[in-house]
Amino acid sequence: MNKHMLVKNLAPFSALSSTHGTISGLCDALEAVADSLPGNIDRHSCQCLSETLMPLLKLAQQREERQVFPPLRRKGGAAAMFDRLHQEHFEDLCFAEEASEALGRLARGEEVNTEATGYLLRGLFTTLRRHIVFEKDFLESLQATKS
């Protein structure tokens, strides 16, 4: 295999690794806020996360859908699996929108149900982490069948 082919074959995995890094960073930040509830809320962190959660998650998902999914589909990835991942992206964005609003309320010092907010944040970062693990497992199985 020549160098050009190797780079072309690895490009989707490099893009996915970068995307997973972005999402993992968001998960870590969400977990830190959830762990700080109810009595040790960093309003500045909540504000930053409230403002960046949706744009960063959208960007990461768009990168996956534009740079990662198409070449993997061409390699024979199951169409239903990519449809599922696309649907999960949509659901994650809906969940992230609620979390972003809750983070904004925390940042402004508004009254919130901290237990419910903690569950909301934990639900989001757990779902995002599960999505990452699924994608990694799926890609490994796809690679194994192509080897």
Q: pLDDT (tens digit, 9 = 90+) per residue, 10-61?
A: 455 566 777 888 899 999 999 999 999 998 999 999 999 999 999 999 998 9
What is d(CA 80, CA 22) in angstroms, rounded to the nearest whole number? 25
Is 29 part of any domain? yes
Is 37 part of any domain? yes
85 has pLDDT over 50: yes
81 has pLDDT over 60: yes
Taking alpha carbons only, the member of 130, 132, 131, 106 closest to residue 118 is: 106
Is 74 part of any domain? yes
pLDDT above 90 covers a percentage of the chain that reads 55
CB 63 within 8 A of CB 135: no
Is 147 part of any domain? no
Phi, psi torsion values for 42, nearest 5 degrees? -95, 100
Is 65 part of any domain? yes
Is 107 part of any domain? yes
3 has pLDDT over 50: no
Domain limits at 90?
Answer: 10-141
Is 135 part of any domain? yes
Higher local confidence (pLDDT), 145 or 88: 88
pLDDT tens digits, 108-139 = 999 999 999 999 999 999 999 998 998 888 77
Is 1 part of any domain? no
The single-letter code of the amino acid at 65 is E
Taking alpha carbons only, the member of 60, 57, 46 closest to residue 117 is: 46
Residue with tokens 């659901």: 91
9 has pLDDT over 60: no
E strand segments, 1-147: none
The verdict on whether omega for the bond into residue 38 sits within 30 degrees of 0, i.e. cis, is yes
